[in-house]
Each structure stands twice: as structure tokens, then as C-alpha cells.
């Protein structure tokens, strides 16, 4: 096992002792050295290391102050620190462990003892990073629809709770769109489910390309998608909905695969202040009822909720290719 080491030591002889021990063991992939805490902190901001070996007392700060500073660097919060101290500095030991130091070595020491502790610390660090990555992957997969690569319904519900809270606190409008592909069953029946899957992927991409950086689209289920628009008025949501409707209707799907599958979508919009919705479920139900109205009026159109119980249908505006 080889690793990258930062040694912070102001004594030239003690620096050489540490360097020699690591070099002779063949465990050192890359080596950085600093003579004081400030220089060490700058190296940590610029370079990736696996282990810090640090004198408990430095010219510009003591080891405890250095340790606190290390933990303010985002990528170094879990970086292992091995303090090296003299017998006279042993009172640092308990304080150092309280602040997050992982090892404390008293001089004089055997090189084998230093190497054993260093390898153990790096092994623990690597195990933690692997576990952290697996957790992140699991969290990502639990929030992402595996077919389209966009957010799934679970993430949508969580995001709605957050955005509803923000909308209530700051008193801005929150808009929700429910989008359904018109006659999608015919795609599966005529071209097969594989083609249907490709259509869903392409539609998700087209929708996402039209959104602002802080909007997001999620697959609600089947061929139904949801778009959440923080700080969007009814007029803004309606303009975006018309742009989405036009983007889908104006270009056939699966052209790259030698097929032309024309599709349209119907859209239901609910856009109100967060305080007007009791919860995220009511927001979805209102947008879904608006979507039902759009479907009932012939599809390829938009319906917007005027109140929680009344809706206005906007027919297709084929001349309205609203630019982003």
C-alpha cells in the first residue's frame, strides 16, 4: 500500500528521520513537507494527501490549533492526523484525541511502529471513503429513475416539501406541472416497448433542456412527468408549458433510429403561493386535475388551475415557439 504523506516538522533532523522511515519502507507514493502549520494548511488546500504526520508543537501554532484549522478544509475533514511529540508534550495527547487526532506517537520511536500506525490510519481512511462512495451511490440511485436518468417520484415528493416550505417563508409562487404523453400506448403497441423506452428517455431530455437551473423534472410514473418551478408565476409557468408543448410536438421522436414518431403532450399546471397548498399531495392533485381537463378537451393542450377547484384550458398555440 502506497500513500501520499504531508509531514509538518520544523526540525530538520526530525524531518529527515520521518522521511527516511517512510522512504525505506517503500510506502510513500508522494511526499510533501512543511516547516510550520501555515505552510502545511496551504499544501492541503492545493494537494491531495492520505495522511498528515505533524509535530505537536509548530513555530506558528500548536498542533491543536492546526488540527482545528485542518477540519475547516472541506476535503480534509476526515483526513487522518498522526501527531509526533516528545515525552514533555504528552499532555497534548488527550486534547488531541478529543479534537479528532487518530494517533499520537512519543519520541523516541521505532520506525516500524511509525509505519504500522501510518498504514493503519490510511487503511481506515480508504475504507471510510469506499463506504462513503457506496452510500452516495445508493442515495443517488434511490433518487433517480433508472430508465430516463432524471429524478424519480420519491425525490419529487421530498423536493416538494422543501420548496413548499421555502414558498411559505418567502411568500413566492410555486408552480407544478403534470405532463402526460398523448396516446403513448399506441407507441408501445405499434413500435414495441423498447421504442417506447427510447421515447421516454428522449422526452425527458427535451423537457430538461428547457428548464432553468433551479427547476427540475421528475418521472412521476409510466409516461407521466412532473416539473417543479420555484419562484414561477402563473404567467411564467404557462409560457414554459407552451414552450414544452411546442418542443415535443414540432419534432418527431426516434429520427436517429430511422423512425418518425410524432407525439404530443398534455399539461396541467398548479401555480399558487405555498400557503394555499396544505401539502405536496394537494399540489400534485391540483395539477393532475388540470391535466385531466387538458386531456378531456382533446389533448395537445394546457390547462391551468385558476383556483384549487376551477381550471382554464389553453388550446395549442402552434405559432407560439417561445424562445428561452
**Between vectors from CA 272 to CA 270 and to CA 274, what angle results, nearest 5°?**
115
Rounded Cα gap, residues 222 and 164, in angstroms: 25
- Out of 60, 223, 260, 309, the active site residue is 223
**Between vectors from CA 58 to CA 54 and to CA 62, what angle results, nearest 5°?**
90
Instruction: Count other Cβ atoms within 10 Å, centred on residue 106.
Output: 16
Contacts 24+ apart (CB under 8 A), 120-123: 121/51, 121/80, 121/82, 122/1, 122/3, 122/50, 122/51, 122/80, 123/1
Question: Comparing C-alpha atoms, which of 79, 46, 42, 78 is closest to residue 60?
Answer: 42
Task: Check residue 9 and give left, alpha or beta (phi > 0: left; psi -120 to 50: alpha).
Answer: beta
For the chain, report the end-to-end CA distance as a whole number of angstroms: 53
Q: CB burial class (10 A; 0-12, 13-18, 19+) of residue 52?
A: buried
Q: Could you confirm whether 223 is annotated as catalytic?
A: yes
CA dihedral 244, 270, 168, 280 (to 10 degrees): -100
| Phi–psi pair at 37, nearest 5 degrees | -65, -40
For residue 137 the three cell numbers come to 451511490
- HSE of 179 in the Cβ direction (CA atoms, 13 Å)? 28
**Nearby residues of 94 by Cβ (< 8 Å), 6 or more positions away:** none
Q: CB burial class (10 A; 0-12, 13-18, 19+) of residue 305?
A: buried
Supply the residues annotated as catalytic.
Answer: 223
Amino acid at each position: 500500500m502506497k500513500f501520499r504523506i504531508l509531514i509538518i516538522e520544523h526540525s530538520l533532523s526530525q524531518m529527515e528521520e520521518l522521511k527516511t522511515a517512510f522512504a525505506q519502507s517503500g510506502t510513500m507514493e508522494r511526499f510533501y513537507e512543511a516547516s510550520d502549520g501555515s505552510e502545511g494548511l496551504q499544501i492541503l488546500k492545493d494537494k491531495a494527501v492520505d495522511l498528515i504526520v505533524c509535530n505537536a508543537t509548530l513555530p506558528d501554532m500548536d498542533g491543536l490549533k492546526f488540527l482545528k484549522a485542518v477540519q475547516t478544509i472541506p476535503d480534509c475533514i476526515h483526513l487522518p492526523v498522526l501527531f509526533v511529540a516528545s515525552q514533555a508534550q504528552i499532555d497534548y495527547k488527550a486534547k488531541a484525541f478529543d479534537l479528532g487526532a487518530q494517533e499520537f506517537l512519543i519520541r523516541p520511536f521505532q520506525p516500524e511502529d511509525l509505519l504500522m500506525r501510518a498504514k493503519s490510519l490510511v487503511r481506515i481512511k480508504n475504507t471510510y471513503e469506499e463506504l462513503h462512495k457506496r452510500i452516495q451511490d445508493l442515495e443517488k440511485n434511490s433518487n433517480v429513475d433508472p430508465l430516463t436518468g432524471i429524478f424519480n417520484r420519491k425525490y419529487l415528493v421530498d423536493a416538494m416539501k422543501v420548496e413548499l416550505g421555502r414558498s411559505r417563508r418567502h411568500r413566492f409562487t410555486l408552480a407544478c406541472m403534470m405532463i402526460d404523453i398523448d396516446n403513448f400506448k399506441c407507441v408501445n403497441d405499434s413500435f414495441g416497448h423498447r421504442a417506447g423506452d427510447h421515447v421516454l428517455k428522449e422526452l425527458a431530455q427535451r423537457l430538461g433542456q428547457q428548464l432553468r437551473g433551479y427547476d427540475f423534472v421528475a418521472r412521476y410514473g409510466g409516461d407521466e412527468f412532473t416539473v417543479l418551478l420555484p419562484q414561477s408565476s402563473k404567467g411564467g409557468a404557462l409560457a414554459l408549458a407552451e414552450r414544452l408543448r411546442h418542443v415535443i410536438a414540432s419534432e418527431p421522436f426516434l429520427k436517429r433510429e430511422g423512425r418518425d414518431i410524432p407525439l404530443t403532450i398534455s399539461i396541467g399546471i398548479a401555480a399558487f403561493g405555498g400557503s394555499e397548498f396544505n401539502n405536496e399531495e394537494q399540489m400534485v392533485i391540483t395539477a393532475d386535475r388540470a391535466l385531466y381537463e387538458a386531456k378531456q378537451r382533446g389533448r395537445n393542450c394546457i390547462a391551468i388551475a385558476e383556483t384549487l377547484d376551477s381550471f382554464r384550458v389553453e388550446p395549442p398555440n402552434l405559432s407560439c415557439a417561445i424562445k428561452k
